[in-house]
Amino acid sequence: MKILVTGGAGFIGSNFVHYLIEHSDHTVTVLDKLTYAGNLASLEGLPDNRFQFVKGDICDAALVDELFARHDAVVHYAAESHNDNSLDDPRPFLDTNIVGTYTLLEAARRHDIRLHHISTDEVYGDLELDDPQRFTETTPYNPSSPYSSTKAGSDLLVRAWVRSFGVKATLSNCSNNYGPYQHVEKFIPRQITNVLLGERPKLYGTGENVRDWIHANDHSSAVLTVLERGRLGETYLIGADGERNNKQVVELILREMGQPADAYDHVNDRPGHDLRYAIDPSKLRDELGWRPAFADFEAGLADTIAWYRANEAWWMPQKSATEARYQAQGQ
Ligand code: NAD
Ligand code: TDX
């Protein structure tokens, strides 16, 4: 297939493009606006005969139309993705996550093209620490932040375009990703790069908030599985049984990097901070036979630390502006 990947210069999109080139025969075009979160350096080394980059906005209907006309499938990662930014300025989240997804859906309808929509577990809100239930495909939507509410809105648009117009779409909602090429604004790379620069990790609040970690490579293999074999109109939850609280993750990073496990600072909590996310991936496993390859979070984290250590030139240009924003928020 000729696959169009929106947001392919971002963290998870670029991991997916590398995964596709290594693990399939498909050719790939990336459509990306190159916001502060997009980085062409994440797409270096891809073969010219199978990879093309187009700079542009998913809200640009004419460009989207032209690209859809010459592809067989679209995997839609492009989004404003950071909760803290959405609390500061929600507007770009509405434009890209809602209007951008709408623009792609209208083009998918015109061209009758296969579309896979990438979403997040945050659309389900949060769980109590001791809740025995994890999120499933039937959990009611209950998003908390401007980010997660715009992702929830985009999911609902996809479902409506499937039902009303027969668009050939699937959806997946994944838990927190970690791995190479993640922007230093996000939790794990922020702490790793702080330690590399001799700064202390910054934990919001008490650090008891739980995230369900999955390696970006496993997210990619799951998305390719759904794209190739998922049932049209269906939603699949993607997760790898990786629940850890933030304090545990910071302590693991510090130990792996040869620092005392308590060498971190508590900073202002995130307003409306979701307590816990947890994915039940049974449908994806039982129906499509998918399994994660990175079953060991500690080993995946050690690989990720090694990647940031070896790729300072990739992350250093983002670091000071990111920390200046956090400092202004007392974080
Ligand atoms: P990211 O912020 O690293 O990358 C987003 C990419 O989209 C960037 O390259 C950016 O330039 C591009 N982009 C933004 N607005 C655009 C526009 N209007 N037109 C074209 N390109 C645009 O995000 P990420 O962490 O890689 O997340 C990718 C997707 O996965 C998002 O849809 C996000 O909601 C979803 N997701 C992320 C996680 C996670 O842990 N990071 C978990 C589950 C789902
Ligand atoms: O410095 C920090 N200290 C800290 O304690 C940062 C940046 C975060 N945190 C906490 C907040 C969260 O509990 O760490 C946890 C993870 O934070 P983020 O990396 O900002 O991720 P989160 O808000 O959980 O959302 C992520 O996963 C779901 C992605 O950014 C979303 O795009 C995805 O949908």
Q: Strands 73-76 and 2-6: what pairing?
A: parallel
* Test site for ligand 2: of 186, 203, 244, most ligand atoms within 8 A of the Cβ: 186
Ligand 1 close to Cβ of residue 59 (< 6 A):
yes
Flag whether 151 is in a domain.
Answer: yes
Q: What is the pTM of this model?
A: 0.98
Q: From the CB of 220, is ligand 2 less than 6 Å away?
A: no
pLDDT tens for the chain, residues 1 to 331 = 999 999 999 999 999 999 999 999 999 999 999 999 999 999 999 999 999 999 999 999 999 999 999 999 999 999 999 999 999 999 999 999 999 999 999 999 999 999 999 999 999 999 999 999 999 999 999 999 999 999 999 999 999 999 999 999 999 999 999 999 999 999 999 999 999 999 999 999 999 999 999 999 999 999 999 999 999 999 999 999 999 999 999 999 999 999 999 999 999 999 999 999 999 999 999 999 999 999 899 999 999 999 999 999 999 999 999 999 999 988 9
What's the one-letter identity of residue 2?
K
User: The CATH number of the domain where 34 resides is what?
Assistant: 3.40.50.720
| Among 292, 297, 293, 304, CA closest to 188 | 304
d(CA 125, CA 309): 34
Strands ordered across the beta sheet of 2-6? 51-55, 27-32, 2-6, 73-76, 114-120, 169-174, 235-238
Ligand 1 near 4 CB (within 6 A) = no
Choice among 122, 218, 251, 274 that is catalytic = 122
* DSSP per position, 106-174: HHHHHHT-EEEEEEEGGGG----TT-SPPB-TTSPP---SHHHHHHHHHHHHHHHHHHHH---EEEEEE
Look up 106 and say whether it is catalytic: no
- Give the number of whichever ligand sits closest to the CA of residue 193: 2
Residue 307: inside a domain:
no
Residue 79 CB–ligand 2 contact under 6 Å: no
Q: Does residue 37 line the site of ligand 1, with CB under 6 A?
A: yes
Residue nearest to atom 15 of ligand 1 (CA): 79
| Sequence-ordered list of residues with C-beta below 8 angstroms from that of 138, at least 6 positions apart, any chain | none
Q: Looking at residue 117, what is its pLDDT?
A: 99
Distance CA 187, CA 298 (A): 16
Distance 66 CA to ligand 1 centre (A): 22
Give the ligand at the shortest distance from the Cα of 237: 1
pLDDT of residue 220: 98
Ligand nearest to the CA of 206: 2
What is the number of domains present in the chain? 1
CA distance 236 to 223: 9
Asked if residue 230 belongs to a domain, the reply is yes
**Considering the domain boundaries, does residue 269 fall inside one?**
no
Residues of the domain holding 161: 2-177+214-238
* Residue 221 forms part of a structural domain: yes
| Six token digits for residue 226 | 């759904």
Residues 20, 17: Cα–Cα separation, whole Å: 5
Query: Looking at the domain assignment, is residue 309 inside a domain?
Result: no
Q: Report CA(172)–ligand 1 centroid distance (Å).
A: 14
Please indicate whether residue 176, judged by its CB atom, sits closer than 6 Å to ligand 2: yes
Residue 196, in any domain of the structure:
no
* 121 belongs to the catalytic site: yes
Beta carbon of 124 within 6 Å of any ligand 2 atom: no
Is 114 part of any domain? yes
> Can you give the pLDDT at residue 47?
97
Region of 271 (left: φ > 0; alpha: ψ -120 to 50; beta: rest) is beta
DSSP-derived letter for residue 31 is E
CB within 8 Å of 2: residues ≥ 6 apart: 26, 27, 29, 70, 71, 72, 73
- CA 271 to ligand 2 center in whole angstroms: 12
